[in-house]
Structure 1
Amino acid sequence: MMMMMMELKWFIRIAVMSVLLVLEGTTSYACLEHEKIALLQLKPFFNGFDHLNNWDEVKIPNCCQWKGIDCYTTTGRLKGLDLSYTVDGNKGWYLNASMFLPFVELKSLYLGSNAIAGCIQNEDEAQLRLPKLQKLDLSFNLFRYNTFSFLEGLSNLESLAMNNNNLQGSIDIKDAGTKLKQFAHLEELRLDENLFNNSAFASLKVFSNLRYLSISHNLLKGSLDMKDLDIFTNLRELHMSGNQFKDIVIHKGTTTYACLEHEKIALLQLKPFFNGFDYLNNWDEVEIPNCFKWKGTPPQGDSKDSTLVTQYEAQLRLPKLQKLDLSFNHFRDNTFSFLEGLSNLESLAMNNNNLQGSIDIKGLRNLTNLKYLDLRWNQIESLQSFNDAGTKLKQFAHLEELRLDGNLLNNSAFASLKVFSNLKKLSMSENLLKGSLDMKDLDIFTNLRELHMSGNQFKDIVIHKGTTTYACLEHEKIALLQLKPFFNGFDYLNNWDEVEIPNCFKWKGTPPQGDSKDSTLVTQYEAQLRLPKLQKLDLSFNHFRDNTFSFLEGLSNLESLAMNNNNLQGSIDIKGLRNLTNLKYLDLRWNQIESLQSFNDAGTKLKQFAHLEELRLDGNLLNNSAFASLKVFSNLKKLSMSENLLKGSLDMKDLDIFTNLRELDMSRNQFKDIVIHKGII
């Protein structure tokens, strides 16, 4: 009986707990009444285009379900409020910040694109007193005045977006020197697309803990002074593109002397007795720490016991910076020496500047973590590599993407690119590369996934044919090396070196290679373009004429090939594509191709093109006979053959095999009708 009672008690407890769990899972917390009232008071100001039409306490009593509202699931209080794009019109108006006071738990507030010109300048109404707010978006408004006093009540703000306003000059923050703690949490500041000038940097120092600063497309110009950025020691990303900077000001090191501490103390003890008429007003250890700069002291360095102080060259020292964008400026400095202090930099964009002539890449030698380098659309003619480049490869071991499009580089540039041997993406489109593309220039890039060289003047590919040589047997090489010490007078056998010359048949005094019947046959195969990891190759807008594609056979992982807008003519031999079993995209548009030569045993080769999904053949000279050779591409999803010489009747049988086709474009041909083959029983 006792056992039954205990089992009953446990059953009741489990049942009660189950009911509570069910109730907890189905309970929906409604927003607080006073916050709902505050939201309804906001509605008339932000209901342009009836954007807030579902803010209706009758139809939807729970305001947590209203558009733009995010509530805490436990308390029902407002967590996020999105009122972006809710004001109809572009006439500026002033916001009453006190209307947001009820939302004391609010973490994010979005007010972008609402034509807000500022906050009402009233001591009680001008500040957003939201102690837990972390993200504030005021972008794409009409703020004209630079006072940020309304931010003073946002002690936990982490992200502020003021981009795309009309802010000018510098930022005005009252008592900024004493307010640093108020912005201690601010990590992200967006000020793009305003009218700030260089004086803005001084006022930005109150945001010293920033990790992300973007001040692109303003009126910053002339010289970028490195001192203006020294305070941002936590900065990870810095974006200053679209300004008018021309150069970088580097402050060279100087040697000064500082007086000894006990002498400074003695001078300060003298000051009260000799400070008539405030004569010694600059004797101030806070404002001027070095007492050799105080009035009446000897010229610095005259004291034999003075302390030597060396100030090193002030490079751009932002130890945590990972991303730097200086694109679309007017920079001309080709040395990059100012970057040497950015040891953690991973991404550098200097595209669309005025970099000209030869670029000295030694300035990048300390950027050992660099992954992305963008130098597009300058006037770079060459890259100066290291004299000891072979030992410097490790410095660029992490560089994965290099963009050099739109410069003046010629074929000699390939030699200096070998220091970037670990690249995954290389882009050299629209340069002055021309003539023959030598496969040897690309052999080192064994990790390359994407190669873009469109818009150049390449005509053909240089393939280095294989040769047959003979190598001596290993035991004979060992025997020769044992003989060397006895017959090496006058260093006669100095080239008997198995490291420098592994094949001993090339050593002095040995028989011509191949004379030994027991020699080992060594065959060097044809040097195709062997980039084993390459997935995307763009050779469009060149002058290629080779219709065989044989140079591509080593690209077994290629997924995308663009050969459009070249001089491919006549019949194209697609056997050259037989090893590209992973090919998904093939672009042969705007050539003068008349036909495609399919395999003799095409029926058994269908698997080789099983992954090809898109084939573009527009703007060629193909006629109706081309359909027969296209059957090897039976898994196509998109086929484009517009502007060819297709004419007469379009026979549906020619298309039956393309059962996966989603898009078919055969516009601008000369088809007259369609042939449908009726079924028979």
Structure 2
Amino acid sequence: MENPCVFCLWILLLTSVLLIQVQGCDEEERRALLRLRDAFNGTTALSSWGNGKETDCCMWERVNCDQSNHHVTQLSLGDIRLWSFDGFFVNASLFLPFRELQNLSLDGNTIRGFHEVLNLSKLQVLDLSFNWFDEIPSLGLLRSLRILNMEENNINTWSHFEELTTLKHLELLNLGYNYLSGKIPGSLGSLTSLKFLSFTDNHLVNGSLIDGGFCKLRNLRELDLFQNSFDGRIPSCLGNLTSLRALVLESNYLTGTLPSTVFSTLNSLEYLSLSFNYFEGYFSFNSFKNNSKLEVFELDNLHSNLTVDTENPPWMPQPQIKIFRLSNCKLNEPAGGNLPSFLSKQRELRILNLSHTGVREIFPSWLLINNSNMEFLNLAGNFLTGPFTYNNHQTKNEYLSWLDVSMNQIQGVLPYSIGFFFQLCPI
């Protein structure tokens, strides 16, 4: 007979393995989660935590754990606190027990700031958007951080921005819809891992596009500077950002000529918005001759000292362009102000604005026939002639909500059935 102690030993080992397999989340982290629940008092979103029905906190709502070690790796705590007129401060030490935490979302909680410094060495994603921060919190200890979203706060100072520039793995930085002003610190250029950068709608961020160090961010795929106060010319060094897929410079105070050398190297562009600036001089679409991905182009200029040429040689976008906005400029002059020839080949246009461009042609009904998904068409302020004709047996523009052909020389009467084949919104 075998030694019974050996058999007992096997039983103990097997029991230990089973206990490891069925154990729940780390006890320290479970208690820390309950403290977090209490800190966000007034909420019912976390009412199921620790209610006795589920003791394994890895199974609690808004909590994700690593399946192998049962440590919390993700906390999705957005919009868990009842709205408050005062906001509140979060004690950053509440998160210290979560040593394996990689993703933390605290968006939409009227948080005004942190007490103490957030110290999570493995954190990669931090979402603090839609809160009440009036400054960038101290985040220099988050050495693994890749994504930081602070959109829609009350940030009005560059304090602690220098700490962000030490985060060498940062790939996304969103400071849009805040109250920043003045020049962006040049140290931004040290964040060479950035792929997405947004300062959209800060209004008072100003200075030259060279000042902010943008030209050093060669891995950028999206740069959004919508509605700020940048001035001066578009620097030629932006052509270094050859990975750019989206460039938004709309609604600033940019001036001068559009540098063809910049756009000729940005061959990955899919979305380009230059509208509501003060460009002048001459610009040829030949700059995009090697661009095979552009689907959105926007240039609604704020004065008419800009001449745009689409025909020397004729530009043909590939793939089909979906949004084309070009207004308040001289189009294809002095040849006669003809429509861009590439439009006759388009079948996926949704938005087209060629208002106030000096176009001299017969009303192009073929634009509506060829593009049945058209939503917005503005040809106002040109020299279009002939009748407003449209054959509703050929197609129906069921998505069209805006049509403006005012201030032209169109003659005759509107088709009696216009109300049936255009779904026009009332003005």
What TM-score do the two structures reach when normalised by structure 1? 0.49
**Alignment gaps of 5+ in structure 1:** 1-23, 251-312, 463-542, 575-584, 591-617, 620-681
Asked if structure 2 preserves the Cα contact closer than 8 Å seen for 1:223 and 1:245, the reply is yes
Distance 1:377 1:208 in 2: 32
Distance 1:232 1:141 in 2: 28
After TM superposition, the structure 1 = structure 2 runs for residues 15-414 of structure 1, keeping only pairs within 5 Å, are: 30-88=24-82, 89-121=84-116, 126-129=117-120, 131-146=121-136, 148=138, 150-152=139-141, 154-172=142-160, 180=166, 183-218=167-202, 219-225=204-210, 228-248=213-233, 250=235, 314-337=237-260, 338-355=262-279, 360-365=284-289, 367-376=291-300, 378-379=302-303, 384-385=308-309, 388-390=312-314, 393=315, 396-398=317-319, 400-404=321-325, 407=328
Asked if structure 2 preserves the Cα contact closer than 8 Å seen for 1:411 and 1:434, the reply is no
SS of 1:39 mapped into structure 2? helix
Corresponding letter in the other structure for 1:82: S
Distance 1:192 1:174 in 2: 18
Aligned to 1:587: 422
SS of 1:44 mapped into structure 2? helix
Asked if structure 1 preserves the Cα contact closer than 8 Å seen for 2:309 and 2:332, the reply is no
Q: What are the Cα deviations for residues 323-379 of structure 1, in whole angstroms up to 9, with x where unaligned? A: 111112233435343444423222101233344687544554564542321224745
Corresponding letter in the other structure for 1:342: L
SS of 2:33 mapped into structure 1? helix
* Deviation for aligned residue 1:192: 0.7
Asked if structure 2 preserves the Cα contact closer than 8 Å seen for 1:221 and 1:246, the reply is yes
SS of 1:99 mapped into structure 2? helix
Distance 2:331 2:234 in 1: 32
Distance 1:457 1:209 in 2: 46
**Alignment gaps of 5+ in structure 2:** 1-17, 406-412
Corresponding letter in the other structure for 2:318: A
Distance 2:345 2:361 in 1: 26
Aligned to 1:431: 355
* Deviation for aligned residue 1:418: 1.8
Distance 1:221 1:175 in 2: 21
* Deviation for aligned residue 1:405: 6.6
Distance 1:404 1:108 in 2: 39
Gap change, CA 1:76 and 1:367, over 3 Å in 2: same
Asked if structure 1 preserves the Cα contact closer than 8 Å seen for 2:350 and 2:371, the reply is no
Asked if structure 2 preserves the Cα contact closer than 8 Å seen for 1:245 and 1:329, the reply is yes
Aligned to 1:527: none
SS of 2:144 mapped into structure 1? coil
What TM-score do the two structures reach when normalised by structure 2? 0.74
After TM superposition, the structure 1 = structure 2 runs for residues 574-653 of structure 1, keeping only pairs within 5 Å, are: 586-587=421-422
Please say which structure displays the higher CA radius of gyration.
1
Gap change, CA 1:49 and 1:348, over 3 Å in 2: same
* Deviation for aligned residue 1:198: 4.6
Distance 1:442 1:143 in 2: 48
Q: What are the Cα deviations for residues 46-102 of structure 1, in whole angstroms up to 9, with x where unaligned? A: 133433222234243232343322233444332211222233414243322221122
SS of 2:213 mapped into structure 1? helix
After TM superposition, the structure 1 = structure 2 runs for residues 521-560 of structure 1, keeping only pairs within 5 Å, are: 544=388, 549-550=390-391, 555=395, 560=398
* Deviation for aligned residue 1:234: 0.6
Distance 2:274 2:257 in 1: 11
* Deviation for aligned residue 1:237: 0.4
SS of 2:186 mapped into structure 1? helix
Distance 2:326 2:42 in 1: 45
Asked if structure 1 preserves the Cα contact closer than 8 Å seen for 2:77 and 2:107, the reply is yes
Corresponding letter in the other structure for 2:104: L
Distance 2:182 2:424 in 1: 49
Distance 1:53 1:573 in 2: 56
Asked if structure 1 preserves the Cα contact closer than 8 Å seen for 2:256 and 2:281, the reply is no
Gap change, CA 1:225 and 1:334, over 3 Å in 2: same
Asked if structure 2 preserves the Cα contact closer than 8 Å seen for 1:95 and 1:118, the reply is yes
Aligned Cα root-mean-square deviation (Å): 4.2
* Deviation for aligned residue 1:247: 2.5
Q: Count the aligned residue pairs.
A: 392
Distance 2:375 2:135 in 1: 48
Distance 1:368 1:120 in 2: 50
Gap change, CA 1:588 and 1:117, over 3 Å in 2: closer
Gap change, CA 1:162 and 1:438, over 3 Å in 2: closer
Gap change, CA 1:165 and 1:243, over 3 Å in 2: same
Corresponding letter in the other structure for 1:371: E
Asked if structure 1 preserves the Cα contact closer than 8 Å seen for 2:311 and 2:332, the reply is no
Higher relative contact order (CA 8 A, sep 6+): 2
Gap change, CA 1:145 and 1:227, over 3 Å in 2: closer
Gap change, CA 1:71 and 1:90, over 3 Å in 2: farther
Distance 1:173 1:460 in 2: 53
Distance 1:381 1:453 in 2: 23
* Deviation for aligned residue 1:438: 4.4
Asked if structure 1 preserves the Cα contact closer than 8 Å seen for 2:199 and 2:225, the reply is yes
Gap change, CA 1:175 and 1:59, over 3 Å in 2: closer
